[in-house]
């Protein structure tokens, strides 16, 4: 992760632990090749529509910016990124407090048509404390706050994308 985001994440984890919640990182920065492998494996297993709802295509992922991180409970398996995390004490704490450290639950429940992605209570995006506080207080998505459209309307189907390796 970028230095500022990584430092903020360390502070968030320390505050969570002080509140009795032990969090862990499952994935943070992903380079293009990692994002390609992830997207491509899901595409081959589930098809384009499902995969576009749960993962950004390579070159479009927030993880490639160094500002996104996926978290879970310390005793979870790294592959257990489940919607149920949002209902766990750790997930509720993150949703209620992440903004104080500059992070947002990036893809909130019920906002799929706005964000372009399904609910991901584990996916945090660093935007800085001022923006995070405003988004949290206004109870909007980042798209609404920045007046941006949902996930990219890709010009090509994945298998036809001339930029794909």
Least trusted range by pLDDT, from 50-59, 61-70, 92-101 = 50-59
52 membership: H or E segment, kind and range: helix 48-54
Q: Indicate if the pLDDT at residue 39 is higher than 60.
A: yes
What's the rounded Cα separation, in Å, for the pair 25 and 99? Answer: 17
Residue 31: per-residue pLDDT: 95
Which among 90, 111, 109 has a CA at the least distance from the CA of 25?
90
Residue 80: per-residue pLDDT: 57
Instruction: Give residue 158's pLDDT band: very low, low, confident or very high (50, 70, 90).
Output: confident
Residue 79: per-residue pLDDT: 54
- State pTM to two decimals: 0.89
Domain 3-30+65-154 matching CATH 3.40.50.1970: the answer reads no
- Give 58-85 pLDDT, tens digit per residue: 999 999 999 999 999 887 655 556 778 8
- Residue 54 token pair: 């749960």
Q: CB neighbours (10 Å) of residue 103?
A: 27
Q: Indicate if the pLDDT at residue 22 is higher than 70.
A: yes
Residue 150: per-residue pLDDT: 84
Q: 144 catalytic, yes or no? A: no
Q: Which among 80, 90, 120, 160 is annotated as catalytic?
A: 120
Instruction: Give residue 157's pLDDT band: very low, low, confident or very high (50, 70, 90).
Output: confident
What's the rounded Cα separation, in Å, for the pair 149 and 24? Answer: 31
């Amino acid at each position: 992760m970028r230095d500022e985001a990584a430092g903020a994440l360390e502070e968030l984890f320390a505050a969570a632990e002080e509140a009795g919640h032990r969090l862990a990182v499952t994935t943070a920065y992903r380079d293009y090749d990692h994002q390609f492998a992830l997207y491509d494996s899901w595409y081959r297993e589930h098809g384009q529509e499902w995969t576009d709802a749960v993962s950004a295509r390579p070159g479009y992922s927030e993880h490639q910016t160094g500002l996104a991180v996926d978290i879970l409970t310390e005793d979870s398996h790294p592959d257990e990124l489940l919607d149920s995390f949002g209902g766990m004490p750790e997930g509720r704490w993150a949703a209620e407090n992440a903004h104080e450290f500059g992070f947002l639950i990036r893809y909130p429940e019920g906002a799929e048509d706005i964000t372009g992605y399904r609910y991901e209570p584990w996916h945090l995006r660093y935007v800085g404390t001022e923006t995070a506080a405003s988004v949290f207080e206004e109870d909007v998505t980042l798209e609404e706050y920045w007046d941006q459209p949902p996930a990219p309307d890709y010009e090509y189907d994945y298998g036809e994308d001339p930029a794909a390796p």
